[in-house]
Structure 1
Amino acid sequence: MKKLVIGALLGLSSLAANAADYVIDTNGAHASVNFKIQHLGYSWLTGRFNDFSGNFSYDPAKPEASSITVTIDTNSIDSNHAERDKHLRGGDFLSVKKYPEAKFVSTKVEDLGGNKLKVYGDFTLHGKTNAIVIDAQKIGEGADPWGGYRAGFAGTTTIALKDYGIDYNLGPASTHVELSLHVEGVKQ
């Protein structure tokens, strides 16, 4: 739910190239924004957002100058259960008619070394914006078979539903959502 997706996140590590701009490859399904939340404390409910877009820019010599933006279509939530998805789109949770998008915009990137990053930014969901931190990792980069160049990252973060004005009671074990982002960008 964190547009983050999230993932869009992580285009910012120690690479051996100059600063470059990348578009997240959602057309080729080489990226995903996933979520996980406990259901009543008895099991895990998992899902994803099927429609999102984003881009990132990074300079391996200056990761602190890197940036990423991801926009998520909240109506595209998919928990593999049509009736539950209808409920998640409604007023108890995402209110997609009123808040059709979630968005992550980075504000700072910290290079931790060893392809590990902390990506700080503002995440907007359900009409509320809060600062979050995504623990990220560079997966790899290089030329693709079609003459392009790609870079891939993964990241995770956890958000409290109440911080975004979502207070539907699913029990004390179900107050936070874990977000997982997988991003492959195509150099522009």
Structure 2
Amino acid sequence: MHALSLAGLIAGTLALTAPVSAADYVIDTDGAHASINFKIDHLGFSYVVGRFNEFTGTFTYDAENPANNRVEVTVQTASVDSNHTERDDHIRSSDYLDVERWSEARFVSTSYNDLGDDRGEITGNLTLFGETREVTFEVKKYGEGQDPWGGYRAGFTGELAINVGDFGIDLNLGPAAQTVYLDLHVEGIRQ
């Protein structure tokens, strides 16, 4: 559930090709144009799905020099929302996110590898549950351009799978429940 926090956003933040050269963006969480969603296996019968409602982030996008692409995202772990109050309280407990102790999850990119075709790989440090691990995931630029209010926006999508045991979460709900899948959608406003 932790990964979700960052990674997503993350994924959505770095990009590939565009008509604008290097620019800094703020992820549009105020306008609800970004989301960090997650799913995790539930007993082999289906998935528990949810999202993190509160996060902030920035990214730099440079179409001409993709190696300059960067992203930073901070997620408020207590904002986890699986549409079930009792389950959310359990996820916030020390069994999972331990939000009293670890109120934030964070992703900071360290490199970007251009794959062409508006795709790339972001590598960076994901910190959850007090543990920091390097992760790499693929992102795709969804689009960019002028918005109706005179601003300029760029949007990205990405997916990341993380093993919760790698971050010190040892509650065992079966082998399939050790992987959390993050689905990231990020829209940024150029500064």
Structure with higher helix content: 2
Give the TM interval when normalised to the shorter protein: over 0.9
Match of 1:85 among 60, 70, 88: 88
1:1-188 equivalences under 5 Å are: 1-2=2-3, 3-9=5-11, 10-188=13-191
Question: CA offset at residue 42 of structure 1?
Answer: 1.3
CA deviation after TM superposition for structure 1 residue 8, in Å: 2.5
For residues 116 and 12 of structure 1, the distance between their equivalents in structure 2, rounded to whole angstroms, comes to 7
The structure 1 segments of at least 4 consecutive aligned residues displaced by more than 4 Å after TM superposition are none
User: Residue by residue, what CA displacement relative to the aligned partner does 1:8-43 show, whole Å, maximum 9, x if unpaired?
Assistant: 333221111121000000000000000010011111
Alignment partners' CA distance in 1, 2:54 and 2:81? 10
Letter in 2 for 1:186: I
75-84 vs 172-181, which moves further: 172-181
Verify the 8 A CA contact 1:106 1:119 in the aligned structure 2: yes
Among the aligned pairs, what percent are the same residue? 51
Q: Offset of 1:58 from its aligned partner?
A: 1.7
Quick one: distance in 1 between partners of 2:88 and 2:161? 21
Aligned-pair distance for 1:4?
1.3
| 8 Å contact from structure 1 (residues 57, 66) kept in 2 | yes
Gaps of 5+ in 2: none
Please tell me the root mean square deviation across aligned C-alpha atoms, in Å. 0.8
